[in-house]
Chain A
């Protein structure tokens, strides 16, 4: 174009302005896009959302936000919330199963017609995590496998997303075994602590518990969050309630760390099977006799044995501090640093284990220089005190490597990702870190771990027909506080083999407190490993067939894609021996039998009966109470009664509950008072009748008015 003078200048201005506008588009899309991207709530987006909020790390922020009684996603700008909801409304989030096909988490139709996430195993809350108020995974596997659960890793789902139609997410089949998981949760008996159980051949995690923990089912409940915010500060019983202690805790390992020292010393030839330690003169103190190892003028006491002389094996078995302090003292610092790093203590670049779930690296020492120059620090570190910090998973990894001849199959939680039609989207691929130490070292350490159980500090572990080995630990935390009780070890029977690590916080000696838990878990886990694993896809169908002869088909089926996964039966009692009759009675008095508001329809699979607050609510049939308590899925105070033959009935929004879980009730017995708890507009009784395949119309089973 031929332009001159002023016109040329104007042309330049016009062009430049358009270039500026284009640049601004590029700026928003490329520079700020990831931070603000609203419509693809993928894992990266979830983390980006969290990053927006002020603070240090994502987890800390999350905790701070929750402790302040807020779900961080609700603090997002309105446009993000709208677009995220728009996006998520088209997706049916995938379910999570245990290795036997038991449902651990699934979407369930809430009282308000919306879908809510239901978690069946409370003790798995730290592992599974939970969703934000918007329906996005923000902790645990719900976060790390968010993209899979939303189906975004599948091509067909991506296509559906691009064309704007709805689609189903993928299901996860975990390595978790619910029986082992429950046994572990029960073994902790509510004490603060954590435990992991792994299949020693594959690294598959069979159980992972952390106590205390939040309840995934209640993370949308503001009253509950406020309760946590008030009651779970520093120094309280539920301190660190948001942390999965099994993978994210940082505890002093005590003598369990002697295993790492032993591996390093044997592998480098510093000690051998034939090494014998002399402990010198025994001294007597107020707590009994003890030996002493002197380093740089400081004394390290060793009260763990009476013998003045012990072989390496017995020094390990009896946890002789003096022996391991000597090994540490004499060990070149780089050797200790190197072997510790290989096993997850202050790993260097390339040594961090690429686990598929969040995992906090353990710490050998605050300042690596200190352990090079300070012999005393190195000596106490080698015997398991000093500045060490670790978690049960790291210690389990040490045992896992020993059992696998110095190789490490990486621990994992997700066995299979299943598409909506049961097709396999992704199968876990075993990953092995090889050559952490020699096979010979592994063989020797394994033998010495067995000696711990047979003749050392783990003698009180007695398992019939099971070979067990391990190491006790007592992590000293400070004067006036009970130490952390540890046990790490393995159990074998035939070709079944499990690795277990347990910590009970501030509970006492490892061999007193943690070793019995190990024994229980070893027994359950070995037994469970012997059972055949159900094919998960087949499992759903079989359940329906097995229970089919009972009640008639439901009027409103459960989501057919999911099968009968949402009966929520067996939440606190199996209800298996419940026996109802064909005679149903109305759950409210005659004057309250009008249907108010909610009729029986797919988005509201029950009836709302016009019972005023305080009106008595009766069991509609005889049976056993299988759920009694608060339900965060909008039902408020809820009772579920199993009537046998596959029937259950549900009573929601109660102001008071009058029955305990497991209790047997007869038809017409008062089970509580009507109210308006949960997600309601006014007081009423929400009443559902469920069968294995779905929901029955309650008016069809109740006697006519």
Chain B
């Protein structure tokens, strides 16, 4: 009774989630009407089919919400609404380019299992501690899966091996698993080795005192092995995320300058290695094309493969999708073309990697820019949660930082690629892109954050 008066409950979250459901329902309905009108069909004919998916999303969000209420949690009331709003925007865009089929795919292969894991973390926050205890075997499995994929994975139409088929389960994209494995591994490793390593730097290089090889080796080995597996899988986006996660977590995890320097050096070396490989090694020629297309997507310079002309220009080849997304952005303008009224299907991979171009074209900058702002809020909430955790919970803090960095890299690299701010790298945009494993991992990460918030609240009570 006493606690009920002290704690105002989770009404903020309830209201915000109701708003998100409204936005989703309205957005899908308007898109449907727009699409029907364009085909000269009855404008309302598509609406009944939209009720089940909206109801499913509403039910899962309500489930998570009432689970939190049941546990009498009051912390972190805006994280879930923001994440679900971003998911809703993505779902509307997916519906626009892939129709109801895409919506169901996104829900059944990503959202439902992802929300399941999220609710698990809410319901039993101590799972995080269990994971901490089992970090080493768990992360080794996380490392082993991509390595197995690299050699035994399913080859897709582009020649890349991205997914692994385990028995009767649908193929899973293992590169998403290694990211979360790396987050846990580095958090565990830095907490364990951190203070000791910081005190006794052994190697002196110029003016820098580097830590002993012994301290660097396990973390370095993990990254190197993972990178090699991902390169073999030709998932260069994942390589980039892995490298930045490594650098960022070392930077955040150690108070002294030394490890931050190591992290940044590692990042620099990885980029350098990438650049060197791109001119010497044959496989990453894809990367080189992406650099060429990044510099000038409209270039009508002939595209060369090993010095041999391929018969197409940069603009017709790797520059094409960047051009399309730029024109989609311009076509959208401030307020967008209107839902269902633009031509986002011209953008290749509009449902996954380039989903932000769809948002910008049909919903305009007026929705796209706030979405970027909301991403920033999610990341900052994660950092804030890390900041308020007690100092002894080094592992949990680092996991939150890792999650924040992971989301950041995904958003920055992919939206940057969409807008030609960075060379194009194929990664998914968290919560928005159509993608099973990636969405599950991102939702699980939010679940972890909510779980840790719950633990903190329990500790304070």
Contact = CB atoms under 8 A, between A and B. Distances in A.
Contacts of B331: 37-39, 83
Contacts of A163: 37, 338, 341
Contacts of B340: 164
Contacts of A37: 330-331
B404 interface: yes
Nearest to A16: B376
A165 B369 CA distance: 28
Contact of B376 (A2, A18, A33, A38): A18
A3 interface: yes
A108 to B, nearest CB: 24
Nearest to B400: A7
A9 B415 CA distance: 22
B354 interface: no
Contact of B323 (A3, A10, A33, A78): A78
A630 B313 CA distance: 36
Nearest to B316: A78
B37 A14 contact: no
Interface residues of A, number: 40
A60 B201 CA distance: 70
Contacts of B298: 77
B343 A24 contact: no
A511 to B, nearest CB: 56
Contacts of B260: 6
B252 A7 contact: yes
Interface residues of B, number: 55
B338 A162 contact: yes
A306 interface: no
A5 B421 CA distance: 28
B62 interface: no
A516 B376 CA distance: 79
A20 B333 contact: no
B412 to A, nearest CB: 5
B326 interface: yes
B372 A22 contact: yes
A8 to B, nearest CB: 8
Interface residues of chain A: helix, strand, loop or mixed (majority) = helix
A541 interface: no
Contact of B412 (A5, A21, A86): A21
B296 to A, nearest CB: 12
Contacts of A22: 369, 372-373
Given A10-B404, A11-B380, A25-B419, A164 B34 contact: yes
B337 interface: yes
A1 B334 contact: no
Contacts of A21: 372, 411-412, 415-416, 419, 421
A284 interface: no
Contact of A14 (B38, B330, B380): B380
Nearest to A1: B384
A7 to B, nearest CB: 5
Contacts of B129: none
Contacts of A462: none
Most chain B C-beta atoms within 10 Å of own C-beta, residue among A4, A6, A21, A38: A21
A39 B346 CA distance: 13
Given A2-B387, A14-B404, A14-B408, A25 B376 contact: no
B374 to A, nearest CB: 9
Nearest to B384: A1
A312 B451 CA distance: 104
A4 B387 contact: yes
A28 B357 CA distance: 12
25 contacts: A1-B381, A6-B251, A6-B260, A7-B252, A7-B387, A7-B401, A9-B251, A10-B383, A10-B405, A14-B379, A21-B415, A24-B419, A24-B420, A25-B360, A25-B369, A28-B330, A28-B419, A29-B365, A37-B331, A38-B330, A78-B315, A82-B346, A162-B338, A164-B34, A164-B337
